[in-house]
Amino acid sequence: PAGVFSAGTAQRLVNMEGYMPGREVVILGSGDIGLIMARRMTLEGAKVHVVAELQPYSGGLKRNIVQCLDDFGIPLKLSHTVTEIHGKDRVTGVTISAVDDKLKPIPGTEEYYSCDTLLLSVGLIPENELTLGAGAPLSRVTNGPVVNESLETGVPGIFACGNVLHVHDLVDYVSEEAAQAGRAAAKYVQGGNKETAEPLSGGIKLEAKGGVRYTVPSIIHPENVPDTLTVRFRVGGIYKNSFISVYFGDQRVQHRKKTVMAPGEMEQVLLKKADLQNIDFDTVTVTVEAE
Ligand SMILES: Cc1cc2nc3c(=O)[nH]c(=O)nc-3n(C[C@H](O)[C@H](O)[C@H](O)COP(=O)(O)OP(=O)(O)OC[C@H]3O[C@@H](n4cnc5c(N)ncnc54)[C@H](O)[C@@H]3O)c2cc1C
């Protein structure tokens, strides 16, 4: 039936083309776009009945949960998903069910919501057509290119940043990353970087472990690092009162307490060039530890 839209399509219709996709709305997925669309549709006069989220936590920023749902009294149902869409020509309703810890719907928990629109906001991946076209290897976790300390991809002279590299929630990090990639590209043009013939070979491997899903970059050539290298990453679940730790080989060199870490919020650690230079190991590990 008509009335099932991706949140991005709904954004385009509402924000750019001036059309309302519908009036009675259910949203599946509580990442930032799902949350923002709950508020947008409400401000445009629609009734958003519920936001359903498969995971036991929201994938969005805390402030978006507060400002986009709580402020408008829109319920968020964690560990729930849409199990049926009703309607023939147009959506007339959806069934939402609770899911167990394996994310499978639990029979008997079905609830019917009358609605004319279902917005799907179930995850973003980097726009990678250009990356694929260039032949740069992709990370299986981020779906963006694998990069080294200079944000250089596997194709010498091609650098990546922003949402092409990995999905960002805050534009501030995109700006920083863009400046870093720009500086590295300028240095490359001037013939400044070493090891550029094979950007992803040699160097120190950055490993994501224990709840850290990935790191950007994933390879470091210490000689090309500026004074400080920012390593960005996301965790794969909610961690409370845990530590972000960095190991050089077997030696723990950073151990920082974080009250809360969540998949929706990008994290970072800083590595100093001086510390990376005189080392006799080939792996740096970023991990989450309980204590
Ligand atoms: C719904 C939503 C809400 C957000 N809200 C916030 C917020 O409140 N605060 C915040 O800090 N961040 C927010 N973000 C995150 C932030 O907007 C992004 O992380 C940031 O815009 C990414 O910047 P970018 O330059 O990498 O990509 P984009 O901003 O997406 O820019 C990429 C540009 O490249 C163009 N392009 C694509 N392909 C080609 C091509 N082949 N040739 C030429 N041009 C091309 C695109 O048209 C686009 O203009 C939000 C993101 C989303 C999706």
| Percent of the chain that is helix, strand, coil (3-state, to 5) | 25, 35, 40
Count of CB atoms situated within 10 Å of the CB of 119:
29
Pocket test for ligand 1, best of 32, 33, 41 (most atoms within 8 A of CB): 32
Looking at residue 63, its amino acid is R
Pocket lining: 186 vs ligand 1, CB cutoff 6 Å: no
Angle at 215 between CA 224 and CA 193, to 5 degrees: 15
Pocket lining: 36 vs ligand 1, CB cutoff 6 Å: yes
Tens of pLDDT along the chain (291 residues) come to: 999 999 999 999 999 999 999 999 999 999 999 999 999 999 999 999 999 999 999 988 889 999 999 999 999 999 999 999 999 999 999 999 999 999 999 999 999 999 999 999 998 889 999 999 999 999 999 999 999 999 999 999 999 999 999 999 889 999 999 999 999 999 999 886 665 678 998 889 999 999 999 999 999 999 889 899 999 999 998 899 999 999 999 999 999 999 999 888 899 999 999 898 877 888 999 999 998
- Which residues are CB-contacts of 36 (< 8 A; sequence separation ≥ 6)? 64, 68
Residue 194's pLDDT is 60
Residue 277's pLDDT is 84
From the alpha carbon of 33, which atom of ligand 1 is closest? 1
How far apart are the C-alpha atoms of 174 and 180, rounded to whole Å? 10
Pocket lining: 171 vs ligand 1, CB cutoff 6 Å: yes
Q: Which residue has the tokens 């309703």?
A: 93
How far apart are the C-alpha atoms of 33 and 123, rounded to whole Å? 9
- Which residues are CB-contacts of 164 (< 8 A; sequence separation ≥ 6)? 126, 127, 128, 130, 131, 144, 145
Pocket lining: 147 vs ligand 1, CB cutoff 6 Å: no
| Domain 4-120, CATH among 3.40.30.10, 1.10.287.1080, 3.40.1180.10, 3.50.50.60 | 3.50.50.60
Residue 125's pLDDT is 86
pTM: 0.84
Q: Where are the domains positioned within the chain?
A: 4-120, 129-289
Pocket lining: 6 vs ligand 1, CB cutoff 6 Å: no
- The three-class DSSP label of residue 217 is coil
From the alpha carbon of 130, which atom of ligand 1 is closest? 41
